[in-house]
Copies of this chain bind each other. A is one copy, B any other.
C-alpha cells in the first residue's frame, strides 16, 4: 500500500473548515485537524476570520495548539494570542520547545509576559528567562535548550542512556555534543556512531574534535552562512567561556535565510520591512509611504535641476521627450549592477577580498553597454531631431550616464559592505533617485554646452 500523505491545503478544505465551524460541528472539525500536519492547519487558520480562528483554537489540545501556533504567520499569530486568555497561553507554552516558548513570551506586552512567567513551572520559566535576554537576530535568539551533551570520558552506553532519557524532549536529534568537565564544547559524535560502535567504547576516542560552533552573540546572518557553508543540520552555541549553551537547527536557519532575503528585497523595493502576510492596509501603507514621499522630494529636486536648463528646453522642446529614456537607462544600469553586487555579497559569492577586481569588471561591462546603448539612442535622436550633432552629443551623454550609473551601482554596495553598513541600502530609492538626477544633469549639461557652441 502506498502511503497517502496530505501535503498542503486546498480551497475545498478551507470551505469545509468554515462550514464545520459555522455548524459548531466540533467532531468533524477535530477529525479533520487530526489528519493534518501542524503546518497545514496553520495555513487553514490563516484563511479564517478571527472568530473562526478562536473557535478552532478552543477545541485544540495545548500540545497541538502550540505546534500549530508556531507555524502561523506573525501578524495572525499576534492577533490570536491577544484574544487567548493567560491560562490557555500558559498551557500552550508548557508544550513548546524552549526557543519557540521564549519567542512567544518575548512578543507579548511586558505586563502580560510577567503574569505568564509567574504562573509557569520553575523549569519552564527558567528556560524562558535564560533565552529572553538574547537579541532576536543573534545565535542566542535562535537557539533552543533542547540538545544532548555527553562527557568526553563517558562511554557509548552512557550516551545511549542519555539519549533515551532525553528522547521525548529533544526532537530532530542527529548529533551529540561532547563536553569536558567544565561544560566546554570539545567534540561531536554522530548518532550513527552510537548505532555502530560497541557500548564500552569511550566517547573521546570516537568523537570528532573539529566541531563547528558559533558564539552566542553572533549575528544570525553569520550563523546562517556557517550552516550553509559547511552543510550542517544543526550547530552548537557556546558562551564566552566556550561552554555549550544551546542548539540551532536547520529549520531555524532556513527561516533566517528567508528573513534576510525578505529584508534585502524590501530595501530593493523601497518598503520598510513588511510582513508579507500583513493584512492591515494601515500597516502596509505605513511601510511604504515613507519611501514614496522620499521619492517625491527626490523628484521635486530633479524638477529644480531641469528648471536650470529651461533656456535649452525652450529652444528645443523635443529635448524633454527623452527624459524618460535617459532616466530609465541610468536607473536600469544602476539597478542591475547594485542588485548583483548586493546579492553576491549576501550569499558570499562576492567577498571583501576581491572588491577591486569586481569593480574593474563592472566598469568594463558598463563601458561596453554604454557604447552600444549610446550609439543606438544617438542614431534615433539624430534622425528624429534631424541633427547629427545633437545625436552625437546624446550618444556621448548616454555612454557617460551608463558608465557612471554602472560604476555607482556596483561601488556603493561594495563600499557600504566595507563600512559594515547593510549593502542592500544601495538598491533602495535613494540611490535610484540620485541616479535619475545625475543622468539628467549629464544629458542636459552636454546638450546645453552643444547648443551654446553651435549658436
Which residues does A use to contact B, with CB under 8 Å?
1-3, 5, 7-11, 14, 37, 39-40, 43, 47, 73, 160, 163-164, 167, 172-174, 180, 184-187, 191-192, 194-196, 209-213, 226-231, 233, 242, 250-251, 253-254, 257-258, 261-262, 265-266, 268-271, 274-277, 279, 281, 284-285, 288-289, 291-293, 295-296, 298-300, 302-304, 306-307, 310, 313-314, 317-318, 320-329, 332-333, 335-336, 339-340, 343-344, 347, 349-351, 353-354, 357, 361-362, 364-365, 368-369, 372-373, 376-377, 380, 384, 402, 429, 433, 436-437, 440
B196 touches A276 (CB 8 A): no
B160 touches A376 (CB 8 A): no
- 10 closest Cβ pairs, A-B complex: A299-B325, A269-B339, A302-B324, A276-B349, A231-B251, A303-B321, A276-B344, A320-B320, A281-B364, A2-B242
B3 touches A349 (CB 8 A): no
Q: A196-B167, A327-B327, A365-B281 are in contact. Are A212 and B289 (CB under 8 A)?
A: no
Question: How far does the alpha carbon of A335 sit from the alpha carbon of B231 in the complex, in Å?
Answer: 35
A230 touches B37 (CB 8 A): yes
Q: A254-B254, A285-B369, A340-B271 are in contact. Are A320 and B318 (CB under 8 A)?
A: no
Q: A14-B353, A37-B230, A368-B281 are in contact. Are A292 and B329 (CB under 8 A)?
A: yes
B296 touches A377 (CB 8 A): yes
Chain B: CB-nearest residue to A182: B2
Known: A292-B369, A299-B325, A303-B325. 11 other contacts (CB 8 A): A160-B195, A172-B233, A268-B269, A269-B335, A276-B340, A285-B365, A288-B336, A292-B373, A296-B325, A306-B321, A328-B429
